[in-house]
Amino acid sequence: MGILWALLSVMLVSAAQLALRAAMLLLPPVDWNGELLFALLTFKPGTGLLFLGLFGYLASMICWFFALRRLPLAKAYALLSLSYIVVWGAALVLQNEAFSWQALAGVLLVMAGVMTIFSPQRK
């Protein structure tokens, strides 16, 4: 059951990261003139995505809490690193990010680490 909580956390935090990125592209920059605050108070485009992303992070932390009650930290943290892969792949497909061989190398390293941690232990 802990793995399910961790995977749900991965999906929520990945969706939250994508929503926050999309919101930041739509909202005005953060500066001292209050333009961002005005945009948030008047519910300009991107405001909903910002709040959805923040709520996604909160929901992910709740799932993370339940995952850590059932899984060792090393395994739960390894599963959380899968979020990097999900966000990278989704950004390529959904947000037209440019492909990078360095990012692909990082994805392969993350996958190798997760597979190593979850491989059966020989005694």
20, 49, 59, 75 from 45: Cα distances, Å: 12, 8, 23, 39
For residue 104, what are its two tokens? 């692909």
Compare 59 and 122 and report the one with higher pLDDT.
59
In whole angstroms, what is the distance from residue 20 CA to residue 93 CA? 16
- The stretches of 2-118 forming alpha helices (DSSP H) are 2-26, 35-41, 47-70, 73-80, 82-94, 101-118
CB-CB contact of 10 with 80 (8 Å): yes
Residue range 61-103, pLDDT digits in tens: 999 999 999 988 888 888 888 888 888 888 888 878 888 898 8
What pLDDT, on a 0 to 100 scale, did the predictor assign at position 122?
62
In whole angstroms, what is the distance from residue 36 CA to residue 3 CA? 38
What pLDDT, on a 0 to 100 scale, did the predictor assign at position 121?
72
Which of 95, 74, 70, 73 lies closest to 15 in space, CA to CA? 95
Extents of the domains making up the chain: 2-118
Residue range 33-65, pLDDT digits in tens: 788 888 888 888 899 999 999 999 999 999 999
Single-letter residue type at 99:
F
Residue range 11-22, pLDDT digits in tens: 999 999 999 999
In whole angstroms, what is the distance from residue 26 CA to residue 46 CA? 5
Residue 123 has pLDDT above 70, yes or no: no
**pTM reported for the whole predicted model:** 0.80
